[in-house]
Amino acid sequence: MLRQVSPKCDFDYGFSMEFENQEAYEAYNAHPSHRSFVQERWETEVARFQEIDLVE
């Protein structure tokens, strides 16, 4: 996890993830452990977030 220090951004922390390819991302996104985390923790504890999806 990274701590955000720019005064231009309202968010305090961030993290990034890199995937080998689109198939790896889709497998991660559909994995039962990930889906459970999103449902049980992320949706109940995270008030707001910014998602940025980048490709090369």
CB crowding 12-40: b at 16 or more within 10 Å, else e: eeeeeeeeeeeeeeeeeeeeeeeeeeeee
pTM of this prediction exceeds 0.75: no
**H/E run at residue 13:** strand 13-14
Residue 2's pLDDT is what?
80
pLDDT tens-place string over residues 5-56: 889 988 888 888 999 999 999 999 999 999 999 999 999 999 999 888 888 8
Please state the separation of Cα 40 from the chain's center in Å.
15
Check whether 1 has a pLDDT greater than 80.
no
The H-assigned helical ranges of the chain are 22-30, 32-37, 43-45
